[in-house]
C-alpha cells in the first residue's frame, strides 16, 4: 500500500515538518501496517539520484519526531516503521518470520521494574519473532 501524496503532506504537517520530496517519498514507502524497511531497502526504492546523507538525516529526523520507530533486529539490521499512534519506541515489537511484517506490540508488557537491585534501565530492544495472525490462519486452511 502506497500513501497518496496529499496524505504524506498532511501527515508531515501534523508533525511540524515541511513536505520535501524525500520526506514524502520515504513516508510513502513506509506507509502501511507492519511495513518495516532497512535504510538500504528504502534507498533502493528511491530515485537513484537521492543523496544518501539526506536519506540518513531524514530517517534520523523522523525517529526524533516520533514519526518512525527504529527497531533493532540484530547487530546489522535496523528497520524503520511508521510509529502510528505509538509515539515512544520503548515497547516490544513482533517480527513475523514468514511475511516479514514488523508490528508494534506495546501490549506485551515487559516489566522493567523487576531488575535486580543495583541495575538501571536505560533502553530496551525487544523483538518477538514468530508468525503473525495473517500467516497462521493461512497455514490452517
Ligand atoms: Zn506474517
Ligand atoms: Zn513500535
The bound ligand whose nearest atom lies closest to the alpha carbon of 88 is: 2
CA-based nearest residue to 81, from 127, 131, 130, 134:
127
Whole-prediction pTM value? 0.81
> Which residues have CB atoms below 5 A from the ion given as ligand 2?
69, 104
Show Cβ contacts of residue 124 under 8 Å, excluding neighbours closer than 6 positions.
90, 110, 112
Cell numbers placing 24:
514524502
Show Cβ contacts of residue 20 under 8 Å, excluding neighbours closer than 6 positions.
none
- What the chain holds in terms of domains, given with CATH numbers, is 5-82 (1.10.10.10), 92-140 (3.30.1490)
Per-residue tens of pLDDT for the chain, all 141 residues:
456 777 899 989 999 999 999 999 999 999 988 899 999 999 999 999 999 999 999 999 999 998 999 998 888 899 999 987 766 667 889 999 999 999 988 888 777 778 899 998 777 778 999 999 999 987 665
* CA angle 29–106–56, rounded 5-degree value: 35
Whole-number Å distance, alpha carbon 105 to ligand 2 midpoint, is 7
- Residue whose entry in the numeric block shows the C-alpha cell 525487544: 126
pLDDT of 85 = 72
Amino acid at each position: 500500500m502506497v500513501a497518496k501524496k496529499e496524505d504524506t503532506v498532511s501527515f508531515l504537517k501534523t508533525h511540524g515538518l515541511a513536505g520535501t520530496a524525500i520526506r514524502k517519498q520515504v513516508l510513502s514507502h513506509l506507509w502501511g501496517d507492519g511495513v518495516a524497511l532497512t535504510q538500504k531497502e528504502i534507498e533502493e526504492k528511491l530515485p537513484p539520484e537521492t543523496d544518501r546523507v539526506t536519506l540518513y538525516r531524514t530517517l534520523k529526523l523522523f525517529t526524533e519526531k516520533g514519526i518512525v520507530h527504529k527497531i533493532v533486529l540484530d547487530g546489522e539490521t535496523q528497520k524503520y516503521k511508521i510509529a502510528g499512534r505509538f509515539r515512544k519506541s520503548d515497547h516490544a515489537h513482533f517480527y513475523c518470520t514468514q511475511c516479514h511484517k514488523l508490528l508494534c506490540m506495546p501490549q506485551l508488557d515487559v516489566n522493567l521494574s523487576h531488575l535486580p537491585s543495583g541495575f538501571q534501565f536505560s533502553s530496551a530492544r525487544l523483538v518477538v519473532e514468530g508468525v503473525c495472525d495473517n500467516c497462521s490462519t493461512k497455514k490452517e486452511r
